[in-house]
Amino acid sequence: MVLSRRTFSALAGTAALGLSLSGSGSDEACAAGRAPVAPTGPAPGPPAADGKKHTVGFDRYSMLIDGKRLVLWSGEVHPFRLPSPSLWRDVLEKLRAHGYNTISIYVSWNYHSPAPGKYDFTGVRDLDLFLRTAAETGLYVILRPGPYINAEVDAGGFPGWLTVTKGTARTSDPTYLKYVDEWLTAVDRIAAKHLYTKGGGTIVLYQLENEYANNVSSSLGRDYMTHLYKKVRADGIDVPLFHNDKGRNGHWAPGTFDTGGEKGCYLYGFDGYPSPFATPPDWGYFGVGGTKGGSTASPETPGLIAEFGGGWFDPWGGAEFDGKGYAESRRTRDAAYERRFYLTNLANGIKIHNVYMTFGGTSWGWLPAPIVYTSYDYGAALDEARQPTAKLIPMHQIGQLLHCVPDLAKLDRAGDITVGDTGIKAYHLVNPDTEAHFYVLRNDTATESVASVPLAGTTASVPVPGLDARLLATGIALGRRKLRYSTAQPMLWLATGRQDIAVFTGRAGESTRTALECASKPTVTVLEGNAGHEYADGVLRIDAQLNSLTRVLVEGDGISTPLLLLLATDEMSGRLWRYDTPSGPVLVRGPALLRTAVLRGTTVHLTGDTIKAADLEVWGPRGMSEVVWNQGTLKAVATKSGSLRAEQRLPGAPGVRLPALTNWRRAAENQESAADFDDSGWKVANKKSSHSVTPVPAGQPVLFADDYGYHYGDVWYRGHFNDAGKAESVSLSYISGAQGLLMAWLDGKPLGTHRMPVPDKKTVRQGTWSATATFPVPEKTGPRVLSVLVRRMQHDEDGAAKDTHKVARGLTGVTLKGASPAVTWRIQGEVAPDPVRGPVNNGGLFGERHGWHLPGFDDTDWKVVDFPRDERRQGVTWYRTDFRLAVDASVDASIGLTLTDDPARAYRVQIFLNGWNTGQYINDVGPQHTFVLPNGLLRTRGLNTLALAVLSDGTTPAGPGKVALTLLGSAAGGVPVTAVDSPGGPLKH
């Protein structure tokens, strides 16, 4: 990203004084005492895998890339929550376009490791491909491979097989560390190829562990962190390392554990998820200070928030947002929330700022931790269906500003200012090198207020809406001219063609004043909009009322380069796109998204998206005379603004027709419940001990599913016994995650179903639930068989480092009242992992084990049925249908599946699209009713197979009711999408 060409040449010559890590991992600038500080200067250009060596370091203000200051403006995105590699590019291009220069990613151990010693980084798990795509998009990467990640994924990212190993996780236990080393070796082998220091990729930061708040004062913790540090360095990772404190505790700050003598190459970071209804906290310059003050816990490293709330997760039943789902998360953490909270962070010196989540995605299959349902939309700025939301506008504005104004990377707290009795809190900061001043005005009241702000020798009246904030600047360079002050918020500037261009933003209808320093009276031309101007005492003052886009051209004043001042409404600012090319920067106005810009000769080639019909206007280097949009040449004319404007508007997205889902076929399942079912091929459950933290009941075998290699999805048990004629009842104890359930049959006849309660506001974070279900036993002599199906709902996370991921899942104990027969138990869960879809796709239902969910399965002997269904039975019923889509190749259509029914009906559905387990629906719990079907899994131009595995408890009539495809958004443009299966062949089981 090419930032300001401000005249810092003298300072830039000494920019390499800052701390740095070279490709060899040197720390030559890490001398004793206060570390050297780099000057303010131009920021580095856009990152790429350029094959060149780079230095990556930091001083107490910011990151330093090749000695140049950079504020990392980052968004969290998880490749494992979007199992369609083609769409990774779509999401990353959208984030880059909207001002992000960095992404942060978790790498989930369980996603890549189906068994000890086995690591799969192919297909949807191709980390190398994701990192290549990030580099091609021009984004820096913060890599977070755990080994523990939390992230609301099963077992916090630990693989299922780790739940049955010796050793205590997240400590220096040697057995655990042996497995950790295997995992890190596998990840680091890939990561080392993508380090920015080596020129192979754009990784600039690497996280050790995740929110490790335990064993801080114990050798178990210190030795563990030391081991991770040394292991990562031994693997060739030479970029700065950090840890994210779970809160502001000063845990694992520099100097708290042994880093092998290496100094100045490790940062302190922390996480924060303040309530949107609370006052934004000061976690830096303006806070309490010390080890509990956030970034002040490590004053010699830049402020680093590894996770700041861009939303929040929702539990089964939707208690977090009163059943309104992620739409409510997005409403309460909206654009105004972002301005208040994120600008407060910047004012507090946070220069590495990661928003969790920026694209949440989908916790498909058995990936989610038990505390969340399938959608991980999170209320993020980019929704689960990859659709931009209004939350992207402030992120876009701030990201572009950080991109263009290097002064912001080095700020000190300046003198306090008063803004009147307004309820507005004012933050005042100054760059010590350039003396540019910045002001963050935050209104913590519900009503709009006007602040009287002292700006560059004058007092300006600045309105701030209720529960909102804005940033003002004085003394920054706008190319060859200097801003005295503006009551509008600066967004970007660039030099292109024969002029400088500066963009300021504000609310529609707002009156603004922008003052420029001018040695003599300039020539001012209002090209568009409502604006007036006056010149006096060396200052040009431009007063404008914001309405779409106001254009003012400033010429003369002894400066040969004109300045085009663009005053944009917030809405219009979201359609202004900067793109840096080797030939110089390009500014584009109009489309819903600009993906790429390339100059070839006199032609600028643009790609991007439109939703509605849109103008297209381009400012670019000299000599540009022709515009190509998505490979189509447009007639364009030169404007007085120095741009090229297409004579015709870009077309919007054409309509998308979705077929009705008909021709359903039905087959009943749970053959395992029949008395004469042959279970001789199942594993015998006869173990006597377990590494689980759950005690084994005295006198009973281990029945925990994980101990027999069944880690994901449903698990079946069959117990054979005699001599129980006097039994009165059977009690089945089991443990599951939230919303787990148990079904039982005796001699093929239903005994009943037990369900865990729906979480309420007090139990939304409870990941493990245990219960005992007791059923009466009909009297009978002779051989008997007890069949039990447990929907386990996955392992708890281990956020407190207490091995809670090892709490048992499945049956834990069985007793018969009135009889004590010897019981022989057999157990069956998921079969070998699907080689394409991975270990988290399937559980142990009969249909899953026999391919009923797969395309190509022969269902011709299944009965044809219609929806809605209304049947009452305990067990599993499958429905299948095919449907064909014919979405235009030029359209990116995001499509979902919506299920609706009477909420009193008790049943749940596993949704399989072309063999992929895209989620779980619980009709009488919710709140999720629409499930995103990612393109790539979904063939938008071809045949698709949909399979529904319906699990009903028999207490009510069960559906499905209405099942329909839903258009979640569409755009003309997008990226090419490849089907996620074996190239040229069918999906494989």
- Active site amino acids: 211, 307
Torsion 804-243-138-187 (CA) sign: negative
Please name the residues in contact with 726: beta carbons below 8 A apart, sequence gap of 6 or more.
779, 818, 819
Output phi, psi for 130, to 5 deg: -60, -45
Cα 352 to Cα 307: distance, rounded to the nearest angstrom: 10
Q: What's the farthest any 2 CA atoms get from each other in the chain?
A: 108
Please name the residues in contact with 240: beta carbons below 8 A apart, sequence gap of 6 or more.
21, 56, 57, 58, 204, 205, 206, 265, 266, 267
Please name the residues in contact with 387: beta carbons below 8 A apart, sequence gap of 6 or more.
894, 968, 969
Cα 675 to Cα 750: distance, rounded to the nearest angstrom: 11
Torsion 213-215-220-226 (CA) sign: positive
663: closest CA among 879, 907, 909? 879
Work out the number of other CB atoms within 10 angstroms of the CB of residue 519: 9
Strand partners, 912: 917, 947
Work out the number of other CB atoms within 10 angstroms of the CB of residue 955: 15
Work out the number of other CB atoms within 10 angstroms of the CB of residue 86: 18
Copy the structure tokens of residue 237: 């990772």
Residue pair 209/246 in contact by the 8 Å Cβ criterion: no
Cα 403 to Cα 4: distance, rounded to the nearest angstrom: 8
Residue pair 294/271 in contact by the 8 Å Cβ criterion: no
DSSP-assigned states of every residue in 587-643: EEESSSEEEEEEEETTEEEEEEEBSS-B--EEE-STT--EEEETTEEE-EEE-TTS-
Residue with tokens 């005690």: 695
Cα 420 to Cα 397: distance, rounded to the nearest angstrom: 27
Residue pair 950/899 in contact by the 8 Å Cβ criterion: no
Residue pair 375/12 in contact by the 8 Å Cβ criterion: no
501: closest CA among 491, 509, 487? 491
Please name the residues in contact with 494: beta carbons below 8 A apart, sequence gap of 6 or more.
404, 500, 501, 578, 585, 587
Cα 933 to Cα 968: distance, rounded to the nearest angstrom: 10
Strand partners, 572: none
Q: For helices 174-191 and 219-234, give the axis angle rounded to 10 degrees.
A: 30
Please name the residues in contact with 537: beta carbons below 8 A apart, sequence gap of 6 or more.
none
Residue pair 871/667 in contact by the 8 Å Cβ criterion: no
Cα 364 to Cα 84: distance, rounded to the nearest angstrom: 12
The H-or-E segment that residue 175 falls in is helix 174-191
Q: What is the DSSP letter of 58?
A: E
Residue with tokens 């386990």: 792
Residue pair 443/466 in contact by the 8 Å Cβ criterion: yes
Q: What is the DSSP letter of 218?
A: S
Cα 105 to Cα 219: distance, rounded to the nearest angstrom: 29
